[in-house]
Amino acid sequence: MKYWNLRKINQLALDKTGIIPRSISQIFDKFKKELDPNAEIDALEEFKVARYQTVASVKYILFLLIMPVIINQISKSFIFDPCINYLWNKNNHNIFLNASQEERAFAELERFEEKLHFEILIGKIENPSASVINNKMTAKALELAISYADESSSAVKNVLADFVSGTIFISIIITSKRQFSILQSFINDLIYGLSDTAKAFLIILFTDIFVGFHSPHGWEVIIEVILRHFGLPENRDFIFIFISTFPVILDTIFKYWIFRYLNRISPSAVATYHNMNE
C-alpha cells in the first residue's frame, strides 16, 4: 500500500466538521467525482484504501482486545497466583479484606443455620443432637472461610493482573498511533455512514441502556461486581451517589455531543432521533 494512502487515511481521521453538514458536502463531492474523467481510477484507489483500512482496523481491534486478556491471564496464572498464594499462606492473612465480605459470610452462615432448623422441624434430619448440629455448622464455617479466603486472594491477584494488562493496553495505543488513527477513521466512516434511522435507533438504545429510567439497577449490579472483583467494600452510600450522579453526567455529555457534532454532521439524524423519542 502506498504511503499517500496511509496519509489519506490519517487525514480522514483528523477531519473536523465544517459549517456545511457532511451529508450535503458528500452529495457535491459525489457529483464532482462522477464528472471527473479519472473517476474509475480514483474509485479503484479508494476501494483499495477502504479495504486496507477495514483489514487494518479489524486486526488492530483484535490485537487490542486479545493481547491484554492474554497478558492478564498469563500474569495472573503463572506469576501472581503462586506468589500471592505463597505469601497468603505463609503470613496467615485475614480471611476477609473488608466488612462487606464478613456480612455476606455471616449471612450465608445464618441462612444455613435456619435451613438446619427447618430440616429438623420437618423431620428431614433424624436424631438431631447438639453435636450433630455443631459439626454441620463447623463444616459450613470452614467451607465459607476457605471460599472467602480464595476470594480475598483472588481480589489481590485481580488488582495486579489488571494493572499489568491495563498498562499493556495503554502502551499499545501510545506506540501505535498510525494504527489508532486508521481505526478512528474506520469507526467514523462506519458510524456516519449509517442511515439516519439507524443512527437514531442506536442513540435511543444507548441512552435507554445507560441513562434510562431503568438503568440504576444495572449500574448497581455492575458496580457491585467491580467492587468485588477488586476486593473493595460494597459501600451502599458510594453506590447510590455514583448511580445518582454518573448517569446524569453521561447524559449531559451525550446531549452535548448531539448538539455540538451530530447536529452539524447529520441534522436529519437528529430530527429523526427527536421524532422517534417523542
User: 108 near 116, Cβ under 8 Å?
Assistant: no
Grid cell of 215 as nine digits: 438503568
- Mean pLDDT score of the chain: 82
Which residue reads 492473612 in cell numbers? 93
User: What does the domain layout of the chain look like in residue ranges?
Assistant: 195-278
Q: Which of 20-29, 35-44, 73-82, 264-273 has the lowest mean pLDDT?
A: 20-29
Which long-range contacts link 48-54 to residues 24+ away (Cβ below 8 Å)?
48/1, 48/5, 49/1, 49/5, 49/8, 49/9, 52/1, 52/5, 52/9, 53/9, 53/182, 53/185, 53/186, 53/189, 54/186
The model carries a pTM of 0.76
List, for residues 128-143, the tens digit of each pLDDT value: 788 888 999 999 999 9
Q: Is the pLDDT of residue 214 over 80?
A: no
% of the chain residues with pLDDT over 70:
82
C-alpha 54/C-alpha 44 separation (Å) is 15
Listed in sequence order, the residues at least 6 apart from 272 whose beta carbon sits closer than 8 Å to its beta carbon are 196, 197, 199, 200
What is the average per-residue pLDDT within 172-195? 88
Listed in sequence order, the residues at least 6 apart from 78 whose beta carbon sits closer than 8 Å to its beta carbon are none
Q: Quote the pLDDT of residue 155.
A: 94
Q: Is the pLDDT of residue 167 over 60?
A: yes
